[in-house]
Amino acid sequence: MPEQRNRYIVLTRTVEETEFVGPFAQSARKQGVLQSLLHKAFPMGAQIAVTSSPVDEGMAVLELTDKQVSAFEAANVSVPLHPVRTYRLAAVDLDRVLAAGAPFDFGGVTGTSGRPFKIKVCDSNGRPIAGVPVTLKEPGIDDLRVAETNSRGRTTIASATGQAEYIRVAPFSDYWAELRRGITSARGAVSFSLQSLTPATADCLKYHCSQALCPDSGQPEPLKIKVAVIDTGIDEHRDLANVTERTSFTQADEDDDLGDNGTGHGTHVAGIIGANGVARGLAPNAEILSFRVFERNSGLTDTTYVYDGIKAAIDAGVDVINLSLGQEYEDAVLQVAIEDAEAAGILVVAASGNDGSDVPQYPAVYPSVVAVAALGRRGTFPASSVHAEHKPRAVGDDNADYVPDFSNWGKVDLAAPGVAVISTVGTAGYAAQDGTSMACPVVSGLAARLLAMSPELKGRPRGPERLAVLKALLYKQCKLLGFGAPDVGKGLPHMGGGTS
């Protein structure tokens, strides 16, 4: 049985040539640093897959067995091998949240074994809604059952128990997703009547940032600020004509597959930052650059893709980088890229994560990164919607404001709306989503707005000095709203509406 190989990154650009002595000094110059490192470790040769970064020749990925790792490290003591980390989107996976909770107590009510669930989905006027994903969780069964409504808004889902801990109905766009608990198939057809949503529907973002969302009538055209969205890609939505570049670093997808990867996540993030149409973002005059690092229909990526996205954003001369993603382990490779961004005067904003942990995820935890936690507000979504599943960990001076239990806390810098935030999806749709993924672009959008409009920042060249002033202005706007610093950092920036 062949030995398992794992992927490791070597940052050859950090290796000093003085480390090479004797014949290796010459080979380092002639063959390249990586080849010299490998020759030192494997003088008799070895079968090792090597992948180079398309945007940084100083980064390479090696696939090594444990024995090869030991040989490499023994021969190159001062050259670290960095494990490739797996990153995930910082949008809430509601099914994972529900699975971690206590099972529903049916109170002695039994189901009818083998009787399927018949489900009907319509709008508030009774019109059927086709193509709606329906998810059913049975007690004692880990695998979820998923189906889609037909043209009559109906679907049938087979059942082993006749009981559903929950049924979740989640259209891709234009309706509030709903969840119902403790259903038995013996009760007959289960009907859902979904409420519609539009860009004008009141949500947490509009409540807390209404001033920033108002059109700047009579104001001169502000400076174009570039914001990089390193995410799942951005679709050609009618409200996102200001997306000026689409690049994909994913390897498994077609070369011309540059839009959103099918999840809608990157398009939603971009709309919060800079939608400029029926929906309006916080920096509608910003220039948005999309760097796709998630393969089609996937919520997972790795260090190499995110690193390439950050390096490409630096090369493109962006002003703000939005990272609505993260993971739990230190990643020295990504930290190097982020330090390069900071040295260039770029603000890096990252989601704190959705694990309900007192330790934010990486890269948000790095000191130079602005780490963003989430805030919710009661009354900004229907009580029957999936968003009501998020319980408050802390409540503000206004009892309607709360920090949701999923939001990571501890070392966070700011908080922003992250429950039931409405934004763009697809090419013409709108949806409400939850997570520090949604809070993160609120701060990125406000930062872009400050860079374009603030007298203290306008005209300053991009660099560390401007970056320091930008951070100070962001933090100056913050209000704690009755929360503690571990939950919201310095607070929520740029108040508006009911909090002005």
Residues marked as catalytic: 231, 265, 437
Contact 324, 373 (CB under 8 A): no
CB 51 within 8 Å of CB 308: no
CA angle 116, 130, 192 (to 5 degrees): 60
Beta bridge partners of 362: 327
User: Cα(first)–Cα(last) distance of the chain, in Å?
Assistant: 66
Q: How many CB atoms lie within 10 A of CB 113?
A: 11
Tell me if 117 sits within 8 A of 157, measured CB to CB: yes
* DSSP 8-state symbol, 418: -
Looking at the DSSP bridge assignments, the partners of residue 62 are 8, 50
User: Where on the phi/psi map is residue 133: left (φ > 0), alpha (ψ -120 to 50), or beta?
Assistant: beta
User: 205: which 2 tokens?
Assistant: 């973002």
My answer on whether omega of the bond before 83 falls inside 30° of 0, hence cis, is no
CA–CA gap between residue 453 and residue 459 (Å, rounded)? 10
Is the dihedral angle over the CA atoms 233, 291, 376, 329 positive or is it negative?
positive
* C-alpha dihedral (269, 271, 274, 278), degrees to nearest 10: -170
* DSSP for residue 361: P
Helix (H) or strand (E) holding 72: helix 66-75
> φ and ψ at 210, to 5 degrees?
-65, -35
Distance CA 72, CA 89 (A): 33
Mention every residue, 6+ apart, whose C-beta is less than 8 A from residue 254: none
Measured CA to CA, the distance from residue 256 to residue 267 in angstroms comes to 17
446-480 in b/e form (b: 16+ CB < 10 A) is bbbbbbbbeeebeeeebeeebbebbeebbeebbbb
